[in-house]
Structure 1
Amino acid sequence: MSEAKQDAVVGRGMDRVDGRLKVTGMAPFTAEHKLPRLAQAVMVQSTIPKGKIAAIDTAAAAGMPGVRLVLTHRNALRLPKPKPPDAKDQPPPVKLNLLQDDVVNYNGQPIAVVVADTLEQAQAAARRVKVRYAPATGAQAALLDFRQAARHPHRPKDQPDRPNDSNRGNVAAGLKGAAATVDAVYTTPLENHNPMEPHATIAAWDGDSLTLYDSTQNVSGVKKSAARTFGIAPAQVRVICPFVGGGFGSKGTAWSHVMLAALAARQAGCPVKLALERTQMFAPVGARPMTEQHVQLGAAADGALAAVRHASLSSSAVQDEFVEPCTLLTRMLYQAAHAQTSQRLAVLNLGVPTYMRAPGESSGSFALESALDELAYSLKMDPLALRLRNYAESDPDKHLPWSGKALRECYRDAAARFGWSRRNPEARSMRAGEQLVGWGMATATYPANRQPAKASATLLADGTAVVRSGTHDLGTGTYTVMSQVAADALGLAVDKVRFELGDTTLPEAPVSGGSMSVASVGPAVQAACMAVRAKAIALAVADRDSPLYGADPAAVTVTQGWLAQGDGKRDVVAAVIARHGGQPLQADSQSAPGDEKKQYSMHSFGAVFVEVLVDPELGTIRVPRVVGAYHVGTVLNAKTAHSQLIGGVVWGLGMGLMEASELDPPSGRVVNANLADYHVPVNADIGEIDVSVVDVPDLTFNPLGARGIGEIGIVGVAAALANAVYHATGRRVRKLPVRLDDLI
């Protein structure tokens, strides 16, 4: 990380301001909030993938000690028909299962909620709910086979600014005239989010007003969804979420359990807590969909890409549509005169998929970057040289210049630190003792996203400040980096700033997803703080008792709580406020993107290099080191940024080697729905991870020059790993995860 300016806190590698609360157990996560008369709820799920509930017997459950309510489709409050969602809602709301009918669309669908005095009582009663189904059969039977669904692909609706198809030039002609071609299919499995904190909601009604404590990445979105669900005004809903124990995309949506908690609270007449069990995280709260991606590449003898075709088929759900945008990076990453992409859906009786860290780019980069590696071998060309040969100086899809692109620097920096020049290009040519050594690389990219956001800043009489925005901290460091942005703008020390978030009573901010919290909220925080700082300066220069009386406001600086001008005269901010009655100074601000995206294409970029050791007899794969370099604009906190990038790389290794949700074919239920059988990396799996950033601000994108970094770290890692496995073994694996049985 680059060294921060001496007089600024933005960029420095600061410890988290909320770190002490977390390590001492004082940070309140959703399920830990305490309310009077709080009851516990447990969700009962379907055990068939499609059909109807023929009968549901709740008598035994309702008669058990402590049980207050057993909620089913037979006695649940009839909810108003929801109004169509606002087209501006991001992410768009999904269709919910709120016990309004007897229809079952997937295994794991909520079909009942048991409310009791204690969690143990609710769990025991939930086990006594007896359900008899009428499963769909014959031609109407559940569709659970991806290959079968692929025979009838569904064309989804185009999203704004993200059409499902793209076409430039003549791909068929480009492929026909190519000196070398690749034609291959790459597949990725169903994967599930597994944050340490499972989804949880506490719901409490006060008349017709609803308060929700929810583990969410989108307090404003949950508020809108609750208002729509219950037919009340948004002003009657408050959503609170000061801390999130991980989300990774799954908590960007208001899922059924959130509204079921509110429904149960209304009918039970008391606050209700509904926390999902680990096994319940594998159906009703989204997943990364399965993909099958057909990639065709054609290139001239010198490596220049003549044609690219990328057709992606991803799994979706009968209940609602979700598109995994795997081809978006293919459209813009490399220069090619002829390119064609498409996205289609294989509709299944599974829970609705959703966004998962680097949605689209994670899965799409595996296919594209693996195919590039195959093309390099066909051309007998260095994989890095091939990418440089096809370096896009501007966006070939949108025909726009980049707002900022330092990918060449990323390639150069990461390759040098990795030692790429020492690589023997022949497969199976490098060894460390008896182990086969493989070196692979890939390109990373992720769009620079930004949405409107609001913030407020208040300077208090004691010289401290409170800055507020209704954003979120998923463990990514939002409390800390926003405190840094505010401190620099206000001219205060960081410990003099308190940043508040996670509440819909605060100025509205967008969903914390798509790597856009910093990019959206940061400029709003900066603007609010600059506005209140200007108010303090104006007070001082108009104050006859101030040493700065009559000074030019533009010449007054603020540092460590002191107002000063060049001649040495200065005044304390707190003293200025005190002389004017001690009334706090307050300012609000809103920041929003303009027409920049009509003028520029905005993306972050990176390069990742992976080394693997493969046992030639056992097929086991170890990853001793990963080197990455990234261009993500201004880095607000060197320490949290480093942590985010390393975390993305670790997840990429998990995606490459371990993660897969295994479906039971007859029932459509995930059989490894726990953290014992759903494998994720642990410390022993991870070697050295060496990441760096090319610290060049992107001031075209926003006033801070900062893009988000939550997702780019995972992009390209699985492909680089698979490419390294090929270099080590000579065996090309086109599916994820890569396992030892693929190599034996």
Structure 2
Amino acid sequence: MEFTQPVDSNLFDDAKVVGKPMQRIDGPLKVTGTAPYAYERNDAAPDALYGYPLGAAIGHGRITRMDAEAARSAPGVRAVVTTLEIDPLEKGINNVARLFGGAEVQHYHQAIAVVVADTFEQARAASALIEVDYEEGTPADLDLDAAFERVQGTGEPDTLVGDVEAAFRDAPHVIDQMYHTPAESHTMMEPHASTVDWSDGEEMTVWTSNQMINVNLKSIAATFGIDRERIRVESPYVGGGFGSKLWLRADAVLAALGSRAAGVPVKLALPRPMVMNNTTHRSATVQRIRLAAREDGHLTGIWHEAAAYCLPGGRGENPTAQTPIFYAGETRRVKNHVVDMPLPETADMRAPGEASGLMALEIAMDEMAEALDMDPVQFRIINDTQVDPANPDIPFSDRHFVECLERGAEAFGWSKRNTTPGEQRDGDWLIGHGVAGAYRGALVLPSGARAILDGGKLIIETDMTDIGTGSYTILAQTAAETMGMDVADVEMRLANSAFPASSGSGGQFGAPSSASGVYAACMALRDKIAGNLGIEEASFNGGRVTGGGTDMALSEINEEVSAEDAIQWGDFQKDYAMGTFGAHFVEVGVHAYTGETRVRRMLAVCDAGRIINPVTARSQVIGGMVMGVGAALSEDMALDRGRGFFANHDMANYEVAVHADIPEQEVIFLDTLDGVATPLKAKGVGELGLCGVAAAIANGLYNATGIRVRDYPLTMDKFIDRLPAV
């Protein structure tokens, strides 16, 4: 099915299932501990042995010698594979770092060996017996601030509109500030893990924790130089990914090598330090933002320049991603620099770009509102735009940012907020209120599925994954709605490379893309059923198909009927800017004596098209809000610049937000309809919930204390000496 024009009205506008709250289909399996995750595939590989990885102990350089004889002789060891024993493996799709093979060390904890043994403990103990000699590389300059000073002002702008310098020269109000965001880890509960059977060296089965099955399949084939037809990849349950499991990582590669060497299936999970140093993370950023405005509050100039780091050839983090398009403004200059550094690989983390960019831009917007003596909400409303500011001929497909701000202000009680920084108290706590805008693009990708009607049961097969987002549930709702059936009559089969390729999960494109793919497959099934029955115009409702004098229960169709299709996106979408929008409101308390900061209440208002399931969507948004609290107040990968690694590489020392940190959370969905975005008029929402949250908290901290902190996380050491006298 090709989506060639905006949809006006269709079967989803009178939905009986889509848009209704429904508990997650996979919930009972997960809360009872019976959902089989990648490391637990005892049903499929009961004889699997244990693999354990060894990571490089230098930041970059070369391995000159490895001696694994003691490891090979250790109790229970079945095989040892070292990186010097094989040629460098090819890089998979979107892998910047080489995952195994050869002597070069690109980053700390790069995988350099795998041990296979009868027990986990034996494999771990043997890995410590491997002797490794290194030749360290030239000490690297890992100072991102210094790098920004070197690159600032160089290169062609990524976006340039109008005479920016004149706008700043002539504007009555200008702000010019530096902002810093730290490196962040995905810190999902389930580590990167795989069970692989490549015991015959021919056919490979990979049970893994991965977000994009088809991409993973292609990467494995490229990495090992084998035909795709010889590989099967399954990932029915993923214990969190946040982008770190989009691409092939070392767990699957090492398990495959170990399986081939030992001649048995092998299960391997990366230890938490290797999750944080071997896989991927969000790069730290340095950002300089300049805003120019007229007396009436309209922005006349936006100048955003930033730097992030990555291994050579990588994309790093682009914190300027939202700046060309989010707010109106007569002129703008936007430039992001990616600086090469020999650090663990940086790549996609929930809302890559916008998450860190809005941490800075939304503070800057508040700073300009203060300079203008304007309400921060009103300032954002004044600078709304219904077209792409850099391309005024391109309208937004659907944008209700102003309504998000207005609805949020009313529901939050914004008019009763503290208006004078440092003036409101509750006992020993200084009380503040903050707001921030939220923006995230609305990308969609091709996505396919197979629909099978068998004895009144509708079976949906697609390699789409569920990474805790509710895919099983929303896809079942989409299929049931399209076929006029009950959700109870739908069986979902996900995340197997034998099924039609889907978009996969990531970039908040998963739900709108895969749901559209399921819709396409079900519409093809409807056509096939109608054709078999000789009905020209068939209607599917209440589990029955009617039309042309026929009225038959779908359960009465004796033969299995199947159809396969995929959603393809027409060029017409290029004529629109597509995004999702939101507003975050927070109340914070800062202890007047200690500087301890607590978020007291939170509200998110989201504009993301039709909400397929408000239960699963709310779960995504409040999860993003929790991540925003961590990003604002505690998360910081502590870089050892001398050794080139992150020292707090475990869940005890990398401090994410926990239950005690999270107060009352409220979510309001505008439940708008975007007929340009998808046939369901739906867009993704999973990353929107994170965008802007940290800045709202930073703005709330300023409102509480009168102290502006532009360096995340907002730990007390950065402002305790400036707290108001009590």
Unaligned runs of 5+ in 1: 158-162, 543-551
1:347 Cα offset (Å) = 2.1
2:234 paired residue among 230, 235, 240? 240
| Other structure's SS at 2:255 match | helix
Match of 1:160 in 2: none
Work out which of the residue numbers 614, 620, 625 in structure 2 matches 1:638.
614
Alignment pair present for 1:448 and 2:442: yes
Distance 1:618 1:81, change over 3 A: closer
Letter in 2 for 1:194: T
Matches within 5 A, 1:216-365: 216-318=210-312, 320-365=313-358
Q: State which of 533, 543, 561 in structure 2 corresponds to 1:585.
A: 561
Per the alignment, residue 8 of structure 1 pairs with: 16
Output the amino acid matched with 1:413.
Answer: R
Structure 1 residue aligned with 2:140: 142
Give me the CA root mean square deviation: 2.0
Task: Report the Cα distance in structure 2 between the residues aligned to 1:518 and 1:596, rounded to whole angstroms.
Answer: 21
Which residue is 1:213 aligned to? 207
8 Å CA contact 1:180, 1:301 repeated in 2? yes
Residues 172-193 of structure 1: CA distance to partner in whole angstroms, max 9, x if unpaired?
1001111111100100001111
Identity %: 38
Per-residue Cα deviation, 1:393-445 (whole angstroms, up to 9, x for no partner): 21112331011011111111111011111224221122223321111101001
How far apart in 1 are the matches of 2:386 and 2:152? 35
Secondary structure class of the residue paired with 1:22: helix
1:43 partner letter: P
* AA partner of residue 330 (structure 1): T
Residue in 2 that maps onto 1:546: none
User: Match for 2:81 among 64, 71, 74?
Assistant: 71
What amino acid is aligned across from residue 219 of structure 2 in structure 1? S
One-letter code aligned to 1:722: A
- The alpha-carbon distance between structure 1 residues 422 and 312, as it changes in their structure 2 partners (threshold 3 A), is same
What is the deviation of 1:518? Answer: 1.4
Tell me the TM-score normalised to structure 2 length. Answer: 0.94
Deviations 1:623-671 (A, max 9, x none): 1101111100010101101111111111111110111111223212222
Equivalent residue number for residue 451 of structure 2: 457
Q: Is the 8 A contact 2:302 2:329 kept in 1?
A: yes
Amino acid at match of 2:274: Q
Change (3 A) 1:734 1:81: closer
Counterpart position of 2:516 = 523
Question: Are 1:108 and 2:109 matched, yes or no?
Answer: yes
Alignment correspondent of 1:545: none
User: Which residue number corresponds to residue 711 of structure 1?
Assistant: 687
Provide structure 2 residue ranges, at least 5 long, that are not aligned to the other structure: 1-11, 721-726
Q: 1:424 to 1:23 in 2, by over 3 A?
A: closer
**Aligned residue number for residue 670 of structure 1:** 646
Q: For 1:312-331, what per-residue CA distance to the aligned partner results, in whole angstroms no more than 9, with x for missing partners?
A: 1012124x412312112111
Structure 1 residues 167-176 or 55-64, which shifts more?
55-64
2:431 paired residue number: 437
Matched, 1:56 2:80: no
Query: What is the CA–CA distance in structure 1 between the aligned matches of 2:62 and 2:457, rounded to whole Å?
Result: 60
2:418/2:433 contact within 8 Å kept:
no
State how far apart, in whole Å, the 1-side matches of 2:592 and 2:30 are. 44
Whole-angstrom CA distance in 2 between matches of 1:616 and 1:38: 57
CA distance in 1, matches of 2:568, 2:157: 26
> For the residues of structure 1 that align with 2:707 and 2:269, how far apart are their CA atoms?
45
* 1:40 and 2:50 aligned: yes
Equivalent positions of 1:504-583 (< 5 A) are: 504-540=497-533, 542=534, 553-554=536-537, 556-564=538-546, 570-575=551-556, 577-578=557-558, 583=559
Q: In the TM superposition, what is the alpha-carbon distance from 1:565 to its structure 2 partner?
A: 6.0
CA positional deviation for 1:302? 1.0
Question: What is the CA distance between 1:131 and its match in structure 2?
Answer: 1.7
Distance of aligned partners of 1:734 and 1:708 in 2 relative to their CA distance in 1, 3 Å threshold: same
Count of aligned pairs: 705
TM-score w.r.t. length of structure 1: 0.92
Q: What is the CA deviation profile of residues 606-627 of structure 1, one whole-angstrom value per residue up to 9, with x for unaligned ones?
A: 0111111111111111111011
Q: Is the 8 A contact 2:428 2:593 kept in 1?
A: no
One-letter amino acid of the structure 2 residue matched with residue 497 of structure 1: V
Give, as a single letter, the amino acid of the residue that structure 2 aligns with 1:97: L
Distance 1:573 1:685 in 2: 51
In the alignment, the residues of structure 2 paired with residue 156 and residue 8 of structure 1 have an alpha-carbon distance, to the nearest angstrom, of: 56
- Residues 153 and 345 of structure 1 are in contact (CA less than 8 Å); yes or no, is this contact kept in structure 2? no
Q: Specify the code of the residue in structure 1 equivalent to 2:510.
A: S
The CA distance in 2 between the partners of 1:156 and 1:301, in whole Å, is 32
Query: Do structure 1's residue 659 and structure 2's residue 660 form an aligned pair?
Result: no
Q: In structure 1, what is the Cα distance between the partners aligned to 2:254 and 2:225?
A: 15
Give the Å deviation of 1:672: 1.3
The question of 1:418 aligning with 2:412 is answered yes
| Secondary structure, aligned partner of 1:652 | helix
CA deviations over 1:523-548 (Å, ceiling 9, x no partner): 111121122123334444x4xxxxxx
Q: How does 1:8-27 map to 2 (within 5 A)?
A: 8-27=16-35
728 and 330 in structure 1: CA distance in 2 versus 1, 3 angstrom threshold: same
- 2:463/2:504 contact within 8 Å kept: no
Q: 2:338 and 2:481 mapped to 1: Cα distance? A: 47
Q: What corresponds to 1:95 in structure 2?
A: 97
